[in-house]
Amino acid sequence: MNLTEKRNIPISLPMTGIEEWEATKEPLLSGWITSGPKVREFEKIFAERHQVKHALAVTSATTALHLALVALGIGPGDEVIVPAFTWVSTANVVLYCGAKVVFADVDPVTFNIDPSDLKKRITSKTKAIIPVHLFGLCADMDEIKKIAGAIPLVEDGACAAGAGYKGVPAGALGTIGCFSFHPRKSITTGEGGMITTNDDRLADLMGMLRNHGASISEEQRHHGPRPYILPDFNLMGFNYRMTDLQGAVGVVQLKKLDQYIDEREIWAAYYKKELASVEWLRTPSFGHDYKHGWQSFACFVDESKAPFSRNEIMEKLQEMGISTRPGTHAVHMLNFYKETYQIKPSDFPGAQAANDYSMAIPLHNRMSREDYEYVVAAIKAL
């Protein structure tokens, strides 16, 4: 591979095209643009793919998580356990409910919540646990369930559409599952999210909560025989509805999900094989029980063996046209949480290490073989 011919390889690009564009014509021409038949179709096929009874489309994974906690009755005086290494919204939604965030450390190998540390964080005030399936790798849900007992588990599967654990899809492993369709995810609707559950009561409740608390949907109201009747509102809700424009794109994207993951699986295996000789870079490692969703290919830089620091390596790769990112951030190290809870970085050493030494390299469905070869050659040349 000739490294003198500089390439431009983004960390991620959504795989969208003519089919997604054409799918938006139907809602645009019909005039039904808000949440309606296309959202219902998207929900139906998402529920089928993830082996759950109910799927409810919303505006983002953040609003999905918020609705999940509200439906579970989380409020002031309650505690919700969240991994210390995750996107900030996983913790923020707890505060939206007036509850307390309790952080648990993560395993720096899988980047997921460490069950042994989780066990130490549970108190009589713990009313929910949010295991995160980070980068598309499911958390160790069997062990988490043993520890949690009757405590509800809200899966943050923002990165995990199509992922699985012991043959069960993400989103069907806990009480409620929450997904993201942000452009950096495997499939996208621009912004957007999905809630999954097998609990009929929670599904009904979250369906009302996402629509201002209305007793019936907008579609039911507008197509009903009595136009003078407005819905009743028996609870306070939110406007977290997905649009039919997004739903139409989601239907097309979801039908390609397994193809996208299969392609990423091939190139993830290529990375693991070709980078195995780079002693300072640890590539993703997990057992046979896991079906990885490969939202990201997050590595760990061992600075004691590396030619440069993690940040210098990222800068050098950027100069060569290769975009990288830290895996995500340690939430307990962000100023707001650090100051609110008086936490030190060293209080969660696994998360601190993941924060300082993780590095995601490009893995997405718009990359060519030459792109992957270039990334590998550039890393080996450092």
**Contact by Cβ (8 Å): 10, 362:** yes
CB atoms within 10 A of CB 180: 29
- DSSP secondary structure string for all residues of 235-264: S---B-BPPHHHHHHHHHHHTTHHHHHHHH
Q: Rounded CA gap, 194 and 17, in Å?
A: 22
**Contact by Cβ (8 Å): 89, 61:** yes
Structure tokens at 309: 């620091």
Strand partners, 57: 194
Structure tokens at 124: 């009589």
**Contact by Cβ (8 Å): 161, 178:** no
185 is an active site residue: yes
Q: What is the CA radius of gyration of the chain?
A: 21
Q: Strand order in 358-361's β-sheet?
A: 281-282, 297-301, 358-361
Structure tokens at 2: 């000739």
Q: Which helix or strand (DSSP H or E) is residue 223 part of?
A: helix 218-223
Q: Which of 100, 127, 185, 291 is catalytic?
A: 185
HSE of 32, CA atoms in CB hemisphere, 13 A? 16
Residues forming the active site:
185
